[in-house]
Amino acid sequence: MKDGRWSVWAWRLGILAVILGAWEYLTGIKVISKTPGLYWIDPFFISRPSVIAQRFLYLTSDKVRLTIWQMALSTIQSTLWGFLVGITTGFAAGLVLGRSDRIARIFDPFIVAFNSLPRIALVPLITMIFGFGLLAKIVLAWSIVFFIVFFNTFQGARSVDADLIHSARFLGAGDGQIMRTVIVPSTLAWTFASLTPSISFALIGVVVGEFIGGESGGGLGYLIIQSLGTLNSADMMVALFVLGAIGIVMALGIRQIETRLLRWRPEYQKR
């Protein structure tokens, strides 16, 4: 078991080293040696690991107005807020509509219409209403996360085993107790399945918001757009790597919570 884990990590690091090495090497070959410009693979477009590392260090230093850490913090903050508000509202709405056929029927066309709207198209409007700051980004992330969580929770709430509800009733449960001890725990398993995609979509929403939001919104999306303006692919790469790292950490965090809360499920029973 332990050997297996070591070899997996060795492979991962090996592959990463090969990719970075090839990247660094290939972007260094010139068509005519020692002449500036004219590369086989031009680092102007995809930069080079060594340059990216330098830019990263520069962006963490106090020589810049806005360090990469501040930008990452802004992105993380908006993502987490959009995610949290999105899952709570999405869960509540999914639960209510999933348990009431009537309300579900009434709201159905509105939900389908709003959900089929590409959320990116809302960015200018959201920016107009909520300004260029943190709030607009949170609203954008929320508008995506809400629906993902909502639809999963809705399905989950509809597929609660009727016999479990009956048996709770025979054990003396009232409506509130059935909600708390049967419907919510049973639905949560479905809701959790939507959390991993939700966090990545929240991140997408936030970054898109930052593309438009300008400097006052800060964030890594701002760094990317600013680098586009200055044709600086190294800075873009720095932003992308940091975004990737944020994505990994958040996904791991969710997996932790999931394993803990869903430890009753057979797939989490293996120790």
Partner 1 sequence: MSTVSFDVHDKEFVAIVGPSGCGKSTILNMIGSLVAPSGGEILVDGERVGPRAGKQVGYVFQKDTVFPWRTVAQNIALGLQYRGVATAEVRSRVTEAVALAGLEGFEDAFPATLSGGMRQRVALMRSLVVNPEILLMDEPFGALDTHTKLNLHAELLGIWGARQQTVVFVTHDLSEAITLADRIVVMTRRPGRVKLVYDVKLPRPRDVIRLRETAEYLREYGEIWHALGEEFQERVS
Residues that bind partner 1 (CB under 8 A): 161, 163-164, 166-174, 177, 181-182, 185-186, 189, 263-266, 269
SS3 per residue for 163-190: HHHHHHHHCCCCHHHHHHHHHHHHHHHH
- The nearest distance, CB 157 to partner 1, in angstroms, is 15
Comparing CB distances to partner 1, the nearer of 111 and 173 is 173
Query: Are 215 and 177 spatial neighbours (Cβ–Cβ below 8 Å)?
Result: no
Whichever of 101 and 161 has its CB closer to partner 1, that residue is: 161
The span from the CA of 81 to the CA of 152, in Å, is: 20
Shortest CB 42 distance to partner 1, Å: 56
Bridge partners of 48, per DSSP, are none
Our CB check for partner 1 shows the closer of 183 and 243 to be 183
Residue type, 57: L
Of the two residues 108 and 161, which places its CB atom closer to partner 1 in the complex?
161
SS3 state of residue 39: strand
Minimum Å distance from CB 153 to partner 1? 16
Least distance in angstroms from the C-beta of 195 to partner 1: 17
Distances from the Cα of 62 to the Cαs of 55, 56, 67, in angstroms?
13, 12, 7
